[in-house]
């Protein structure tokens, strides 16, 4: 009896293995047959992926893996679902991946493919944004551009299936410090914030006065962490005292306003932005930072036009940073992706047509000595110098205004050139006092750089000592010189209006260009 059982067990085991192999073969054949048809229609797949064709992408993945069912492995499916849940901390919507989130297992080929499609969709949203930037905010791109450092979607997908799902999501998530800190702040924010009464309009509130609105303002600053409970004790709630003034200044700085302690219309407007609106503003700017992540290369000069800040990065490491002055609302700095390819030392300034028409001509008409006082030359089409009295300033034609290099030249001593169709560049400026303003949207579109010498030093750091000495001599000469820059950094002129401050609190810049509402509505749709 024992002998018969011993002989029967290997036969039974071999039969089970054979049946399992046959089942796998049939399943692979079924999957292969499904992929041969129109899966969007036959399997009701609605994942709208921009960077790859979903049919081709899924076919390639399953071909490379021998048409194996990927999500019948409970551990892999649970790992995917855990990562999808965490995407809410990135400001992404779990409803976009609801089938994969709620799947118990991939029971048939269509269920298998729907989970895989949502896996690809989640990786694309995380690494490149949920929405197509071009549909909401235009951006110009130079050609050719440096290779982006963002991984390709198919590479991310295969990493997840071969190394681990969590590894793929970690590689997809932008490594920019701005993104990581803002994401952590968003994760900690109340997603169902309470309603608050708006602060009523009224006269300016200055330190030392009393006003019934100050009690409400004091309470709101206490709730938002700009005023501590101990600071709010033993004071008249309607008196604008020194402690409240410091809290107001902290609030103003956090909102990108001039921190003067005076509660006027701008400050009250910022106080009346609801907590729900601020939550959405953070979500909007996480999306913008994902767009940047998809564009960026390893060596990057990243400029936030909204805040007036520049950062030079190697990978995700900050090398250098400074403040900037960017375009005002009537003359916005355009969003673009390019690279610095040359630097002009001691530049002359040729007055752009818009500035001539809107700024300088009115000055000349009011003051005939305006041009002479600034050393601005009048040139005809052949470059010959003309006298002011030769020109009909009510309708000047065929002239160019040019200011030679010098201490009053608006471009300062250095210009950083980058290919683009807008005649936009980065430059030094004699208007250094404007860097002290909180809101630095003050230029005519170009980007004025604080410590332009420091940026030039960074960009010339790879040159030999003798080359740097020669450039220093050219700069000291006061004469114009062009210095080609090989392998200059990629430049991204971008726009985002929320970040996380040093305390992890969300901080904001005014939406000077009015771009937030359109994107916010699209994300909420």
- Stated as kind and residue range, the H or E segment containing 483 is strand 481-484
d(CA 269, CA 255): 11
* 427 carries an active-site annotation: yes
Whole-angstrom Cα distance, residue 398 to residue 394?
13
Which residues, including other chains, have CB under 8 Å from residue 268's CB and lie 6 or more apart? Answer: 199, 201
DSSP labels, 267-315: HHHHHTS-HHHHHHHHHHHHHHHHHHHHH--SEEEEEETTTTEEEEEET
Interior angle at CA 286, CA 280 and CA 292, nearest 5: 145
Query: How many Cα atoms occupy the beta-carbon half-sphere of 395 within 13 Å?
Result: 0
Q: How far apart are CA 54 and CA 100, in angstroms?
A: 16
SS3 98: helix
The bridge status of strand 299-304 relative to strand 490-494 is parallel
**8 Å CB contact between 198 and 272:** yes
End-to-end CA distance of the chain: 72
Closest CA to 166 of 96, 98, 119, 102: 119
Q: Is 182 exposed, middle or buried (CB count within 10 Å of its CB: 0-12, 13-18, 19+)?
A: buried
Q: Which of 223, 330, 317, 215 lies closest to 278 in space, CA to CA?
A: 223
Q: In whole angstroms, what is the distance from residue 123 CA to residue 157 CA?
A: 8
Phi/psi of residue 403, nearest 5 degrees: -110, 120
Give the contacts of 123 (CB within 8 A, at least 6 positions apart): 153, 156, 157, 160, 168, 169, 172
Contacts for 366 with CB less than 8 Å, ≥ 6 apart: none
Catalytic residue among 5, 125, 427, 462: 427
Residue 34 half-sphere exposure toward CB, CA atoms < 13 A: 24
Active site residue 43: no
A 10 A CB-CB count for 53 gives: 10
- Are 288 and 496 in contact by the 8 Å Cβ rule? The answer is yes
Catalytic residue from among 5, 46, 446, 462: 446
Residues noted as catalytic: 427, 446
């Amino acid at each position: 009896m024992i002998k018969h059982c011993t002989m029967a067990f290997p036969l039974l085991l071999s039969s089970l293995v054979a049946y399992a192999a046959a089942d796998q073969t049939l399943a692979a054949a079924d999957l292969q047959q499904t992929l041969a048809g129109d899966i969007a229609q036959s399997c009701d797949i609605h994942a709208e992926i921009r960077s790859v064709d979903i049919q081709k992408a899924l076919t390639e993945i399953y071909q490379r893996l021998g048409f194996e069912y990927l999500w019948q492995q409970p551990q892999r499916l649970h790992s995917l679902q855990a990562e999808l849940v965490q995407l809410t901390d990135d400001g992404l919507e779990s409803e976009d991946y609801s089938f994969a989130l709620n799947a118990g297992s991939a029971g048939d080929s269509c269920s298998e493919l729907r989970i895989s499609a949502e896996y690809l969709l989640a990786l694309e949203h995380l690494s490149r944004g949920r929405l197509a930037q071009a549909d909401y905010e235009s951006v110009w791109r130079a050609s050719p551009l440096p290779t982006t450092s963002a991984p390709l979607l198919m590479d991310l997908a295969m990493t997840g299936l071969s190394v681990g799902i969590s590894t793929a999501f970690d590689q997809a998530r932008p490594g920019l410090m701005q993104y990581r800190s803002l994401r952590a702040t968003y994760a900690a924010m109340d997603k169902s914030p309470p309603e608050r009464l708006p602060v009523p309009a009224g006269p300016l509130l200055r330190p030392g006065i009393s006003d019934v609105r100050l009690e409400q303002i004091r309470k709101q600053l206490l709730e938002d962490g700009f005023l501590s409970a101990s600071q709010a004790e033993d004071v008249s709630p309607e008196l604008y005292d020194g402690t409240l003034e410091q809290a107001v200044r902290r609030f103003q700085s956090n909102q990108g306003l001039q921190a003067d302690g005076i509660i006027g219309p701008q400050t009250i407007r910022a106080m009346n932005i609801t907590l729900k609106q601020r939550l959405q503003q953070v979500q909007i700017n996480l999306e913008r930072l994902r767009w940047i992540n998809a564009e960026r290369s390893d060596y990057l000069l990243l400029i936030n036009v909204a805040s007036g800040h520049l950062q030079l990065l190697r990978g995700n490491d900050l090398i250098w940073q400074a403040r900037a002055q960017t375009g005002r609302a009537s003359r916005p700095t355009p969003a673009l992706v390019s690279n610095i390819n040359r630097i002009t030392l001691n530049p002359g300034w040729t007055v752009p047509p818009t500035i001539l028409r809107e700024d300088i001509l009115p000055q000349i008409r009011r003051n005939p000595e305006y041009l002479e006082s600034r050393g601005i030359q009048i040139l005809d089409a052949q470059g010959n110098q003309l006298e002011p009295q030769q020109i009909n300033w009510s309708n000047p034609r065929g002239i160019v205004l040019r200011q030679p290099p010098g201490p009053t030249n608006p471009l300062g001593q250095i210009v950083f050139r980058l290919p683009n169709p807008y005649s936009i560049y980065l430059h030094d400026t004699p208007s250094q006092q404007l860097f002290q303003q909180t809101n630095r949207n003050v230029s005519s579109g170009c980007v004025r750089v604080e410590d332009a010498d420091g940026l030039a030093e960074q960009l010339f750091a790879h040159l030999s000592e003798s080359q740097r000495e020669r450039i220093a001599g050219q700069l000291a000469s006061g004469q114009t010189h062009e210095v080609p820059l090989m392998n200059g950094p990629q430049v991204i002129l971008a726009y985002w209006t929320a970040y996380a401050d040093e305390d992890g609190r969300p901080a904001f810049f005014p939406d000077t260009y009015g771009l937030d509402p359109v994107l916010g509505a699209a994300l909420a749709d």
